[in-house]
Amino acid sequence: LAPLRAANLPVFFIVGGPGSGKGTQCDLIVKKYGWTHLSSGDLLRAEVQAKTEIGLKSQAIMDKGGLVPNETILDLIKIAMVKAAQGGSKGFLIDGYPREVKQGDQFEHEIQSATLVLYFEASNATLTARLLERGKSSGRSDDNAATIKNRLDTFLKKTQPVVDYYNKRGKLVKIDAERSIDAIFVDVTAVLDKIVG
Ligand code: B4P
């Protein structure tokens, strides 16, 4: 982790319910600011695709809408961050992480503290509708009605406390994610421009 610590790059946690637009907004942020986008879900799906031991173990959990053990996901993030730092990264969007308060604590303890947490807020009805729509073409085995319900339950039980935790620490910015992709991005850039200066 030495190259990563030496670089001391800004780290943004991107949090929101399933289907809140985290990945969508991260793609736009990368285009504008050039940071490195690391999606915990994408990292896990790459393992599933490659049929690694981690992938085989994670798939069943993801298909049920549960949470993969933090050791697994944090290791994947660390490896990707070190590689990106060595490649000249200017900062990180850590998307879909932390999903539990202890995940955030462990990250900040083992790697570095987060500059800011962006929270995309949307109702369960909106999240469900978006994921069912995506499910028609995504081929993702977790975009079906039963798993979506479990993912929403997991968010409420495990991830909502993350939102409250960083809010209390003055590190959270809440963004209304019920609107169009472009309208949301206007708010996102207003927040990030202040930090980038
Ligand atoms: P993720 O990959 O993070 O799945 P997600 O929450 O659905 O987010 P995603 O980024 O794909 O979707 P987005 O909201 O952008 O996680 C999948 C699973 O992996 C988890 O259930 C868990 O099992 C595991 N996992 C991941 N991270 C973990 C961790 N840290 N610890 C433990 N386990 C972990 O977009 C959804 C759809 O909405 C898209 O089709 C998009 O086009 C659309 N959309 C976006 N914004 C919109 C808008 N404004 N209006 C209309 N549609 C919009």
Q: Which domain holds residue 54?
A: 2-189
Beta bridge partners of 12: 93, 116
Signed CA dihedral, 38, 39, 44, 45: sign only: negative
Where does ligand 1 bind, in terms of residues with CB under 6 Å? Answer: 18-24, 39-41, 44, 61-62, 65-68, 73, 96-97, 99, 103, 130, 134, 142, 151, 180-181, 184
Domains: count for the chain? 1
CA atoms of 80 and 43, how far apart (whole Å): 9
Structure tokens at 4: 């990563």
Residue 8: which CATH number? Answer: 3.40.50.300
CA atoms of 154 and 158, how far apart (whole Å): 6
Q: What is the ipTM of this complex?
A: 0.86
> Cα(15) to centroid of ligand 1, in Å?
10
Single-letter residue type at 186: V
Residue 197 lies in a domain: no
Residue 127 lies in a domain: yes
pTM score, two decimals? 0.94
CA atoms of 195 and 197, how far apart (whole Å): 5
Per-residue pLDDT of the chain (197 residues; tens, 9 = 90+): 888 888 889 999 999 999 999 999 999 999 999 999 999 999 999 999 999 999 999 999 999 999 999 999 999 999 999 999 999 999 999 999 999 999 999 999 999 999 999 999 999 999 999 999 999 999 999 999 999 999 999 999 999 999 999 999 999 999 999 999 999 999 999 999 999 87
